[in-house]
């Protein structure tokens, strides 16, 4: 696995403008970074990332199966009791899923280690599925990369195929798929627009509605701004937020199918890491993980303390020899913490590298690489492209 410096395309910003990629620079700092790219061999991709991604996903589904029928575990996972039955039913029906992203610590040799599963609201889908694909096509076109160079990224193709399949099984294309995110985020708005663009390519009828604009319709249903019942909703908004908000009961009463489905709430929760270690101890792709109050923590020299619910690296603390050394600020932590053995992210050059590995339904679909100056990957990390060669 190599990090190779590269020439930026002279007009990539104009291209970003053309394609509505607005969040390539955030708060004045670069997010999309094509001054370098990563290079993997096919063997590294297939053996060390693709296969473990598929396997870990199946392991996660086993965790869901255990948790949904166990009240003690549901409590440990800090899932509010009113939602338990709905989540169990969602799982029993095997409500279909669109996508998820596993984050790995990987440096080109040795097994990739799972850091977490973003199973409900994974971000960076646009950069991964489309933008880095376009980068490769451009580079190949001008001869800066050989035409036989590849990329582990069939994400857009799989997303479209999945939307088509979902359209068939959800009223045979007769239902409107609503896309939703909060008003406050340009990044989320862009991501959701991209997913809508993908869905519309299958002939699905799609609409957009902001999360805050969703209404409570007569009979306990969710409605859009024109009072149409929302029968099918993709939300880039976390389940654990919705569970504690005023309309939570409507999640159970409304005749609405959700992407991601309710049962994903079990996976988008760092308690998952504890359960994985419990069910599959010593698995090569897992790191030891325990709940905050577990005495076995004493056996860990270096560990990371993470809130059960947190995003973008917030409120994460790194401990070396049981002493805190790095602390990321943030507003999370009230539901409790887990502790995971510390595996330092590899450094290629001056930044730490994280591999995000995507699945569409249960199929590995590609990777996206992020770098951060800090050991804790946060929202202002950079996204870099990659290739497969050799």
Partner 1 sequence: MKRTRFIDLAALRKKPAAEIATEPAGLNKPTKLSMAVAGALGLGGCSSDEAMIYTNIYECKRENPSRAEMCRYAYEAAQEEAIFEAPRYGKRSDCEYDFGEGECRDVVARNGIGFDYIPLVAAFMLPRGAFDYDRDDGFELDIDYYRGDRYRSKPLFTSRSRRSPAYGNWVTGSGNSIGRTYSRTAVAKEGVFKSAPVQKKTLSRGGFGSTVKAKSSWGGSSKSSWGGGRSWGG
- In the chain the first and final C-alpha atoms are separated, in Å, by 11
Contact stretch for partner 1 (CB under 8 A) within 60-68, 196-204, 293-301, 318-326: 196-204
Residue 378 contacts partner 1 per CB under 8 A = yes
Residue 215 contacts partner 1 per CB under 8 A = yes
Residues 79-138 that bind partner 1 (CB under 8 A): 118, 120-123, 129-130, 133-134, 136-138
Q: How many CB atoms lie within 10 A of CB 61?
A: 16
Give the residue with the Cβ less far from partner 1, 91 or 237. 237
User: Phi-psi bin for 27: left (phi > 0), alpha (psi -120 to 50), beta?
Assistant: left
Say how far apart CA 44 and CA 34 lie, in whole Å: 22
On whether the CB atoms of residues 360 and 155 are closer than 8 A, the answer is: yes
Supply angle C-alpha 158, 24, 153, rounded to 5: 25
Contact stretch for partner 1 (CB under 8 A) within 63-71, 85-93, 238-246, 293-301: 238-246
The DSSP letter of residue 378 is: -
On whether the CB atoms of residues 231 and 257 are closer than 8 A, the answer is: yes
Residue with tokens 């693709």: 50
- Judged by CB under 8 A, the number of residues near partner 1 is 103
Residue 194 contacts partner 1 per CB under 8 A = yes
Shortest Cβ distance from residue 4 to partner 1 (Å)? 18
Residues 2-21 that bind partner 1 (CB under 8 A): 9-11, 14-15, 17-20
Residue 279 contacts partner 1 per CB under 8 A = no
Q: How many CB atoms lie within 10 A of CB 203?
A: 10
Residue 31 contacts partner 1 per CB under 8 A = no
Q: Select the residue interacting with partner 1 from 188, 317, 335, 372 (CB under 8 A).
A: 188
Residues 163-182 that bind partner 1 (CB under 8 A): 164, 168, 171-176, 181-182
Shortest Cβ distance from residue 36 to partner 1 (Å)? 17
Look at strands 221-223 and 215-217 and give their pairing: antiparallel
Give 217: exposed, middle or buried? Use CB within 10 Å, 0-12, 13-18, 19+.
middle
Shortest Cβ distance from residue 281 to partner 1 (Å)? 26
Residue 271 contacts partner 1 per CB under 8 A = no
């Amino acid at each position: 696995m190599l990090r190779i410096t590269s020439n930026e395309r002279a007009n990539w910003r104009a291209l970003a403008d053309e394609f509505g990629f607005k969040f390539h620079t955030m708060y004045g700092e670069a997010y999309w970074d094509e001054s370098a790219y990563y290079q993997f061999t096919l063997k590294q991709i297939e053996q060390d990332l693709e296969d473990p991604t598929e396997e870990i996903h199946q392991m996660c589904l086993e965790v869901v199966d255990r948790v949904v029928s166990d009240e003690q575990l549901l409590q440990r996972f800090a899932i509010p009791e009113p939602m338990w039955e709905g989540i169990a039913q969602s799982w029993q029906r095997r409500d279909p899923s669109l996508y998820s992203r596993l984050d790995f610590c990987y440096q080109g040799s040795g097994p990739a280690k799972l850091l977490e599963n973003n199973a409900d609201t994974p971000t960076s889908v646009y950069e991964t599925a489309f933008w880095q694909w376009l980068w490769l096509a451009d580079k190949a076109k001008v001869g800066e990369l050989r035409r036989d160079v590849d990329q582990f990224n069939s994400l857009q193709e799989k997303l479209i195929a999945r939307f088509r399949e979902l359209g068939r099984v959800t009223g045979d294309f007769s239902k409107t798929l609503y896309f939703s995110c909060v008003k406050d985020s340009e990044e989320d708005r862009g991501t959701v627009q991209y997913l809508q663009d993908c869905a519309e390519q299958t002939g699905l009828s799609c609409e957009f509605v902001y999360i805050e604009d969703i209404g409570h319709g007569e009979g306990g249903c969710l409605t859009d701004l024109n009072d149409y019942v929302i029968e099918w909703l993709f939300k880039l908004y976390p389940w654990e937020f919705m569970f504690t908000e005023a309309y939570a009961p409507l999640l159970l009463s409304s005749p609405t199918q959700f992407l991601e489905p309710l049962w994903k709430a079990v996976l988008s929760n760092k308690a998952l890491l504890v359960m994985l270690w419990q069910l599959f101890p010593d698995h090569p792709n897992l790191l030891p993980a325990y709940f905050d109050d577990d005495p076995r923590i004493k056996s860990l020299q270096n560990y990371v303390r993470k809130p059960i619910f947190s995003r973008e690296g917030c409120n994460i603390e790194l401990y070396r020899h049981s002493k805190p050394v790095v602390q990321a600020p943030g507003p999370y932590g009230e539901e409790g913490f887990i502790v995971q053995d510390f595996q330092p992210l590899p450094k290629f050059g001056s930044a730490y590298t994280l591999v995000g590995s995507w699945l569409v339904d249960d199929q590995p679909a590609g990777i996206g690489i992020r770098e951060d100056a800090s050991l804790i990957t946060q929202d202002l990390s950079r996204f870099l492209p990659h290739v497969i060669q050799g």
